[in-house]
Amino acid sequence: MRTSEPVVQVALFEVSSTQIDPDIIDPFELKPCSLSFYRLPADSPGQACVYFVIDMAANLLLYVGETCKSNHRWKGIHDCKRYIEKYQDLHYQYGLKTAVNIAFWWDTPSATRPRQKLELALIQKWKSPFNKENWKLWGQPFG
């Protein structure tokens, strides 16, 4: 996906701010953060965003998600946290390096439906293996 330049189409009219082209978002260009970001003290519930779980050592996008409260989404139960733990355990067992981080894209619609539509487009584009939408392609991780 990263080796070819996306076709850029110009518009005659301004596109609604709720419609975002997924081709303008490159998760590997975003600033990575520690996966334990949610344990840091926060004075607000956070804001809407699309987030990406990336193994920087393997240059592999593992998961795409969206939330309206960036500081709360990962505090509770999240299947992806379990997949990451098992992924890292297997890598450790076989002596393989990992560098799993999370990156946030903040210029996302605050409205839920457009944000979820963008999330799905990114899941389909990057074919992230931990997203259930791609399990037919890769199989369920650690099922």
Which of 54, 65, 71 is closest to 132 using CA atoms?
65
56: which 2 tokens?
Answer: 């920087």
CA-angle at 129, arms to 133 and 52, nearest 5°: 95
* pLDDT value of position 7: 55
Enumerate the domain spans of the chain: 31-128
Q: Is 56 exposed, middle or buried (0-12, 13-18, 19+ CB in 10 A)?
A: middle
Fold held by 31-128: GIY-YIG endonuclease (3.40.1440)
* pLDDT value of position 136: 95
Return d(Cα 24, Cα 105) in angstroms, integer. Answer: 11
Which residues in the chain show pLDDT less than 50? Answer: 1, 13-17
* pLDDT value of position 44: 72
* pLDDT value of position 15: 46
3-state secondary structure of 127: coil
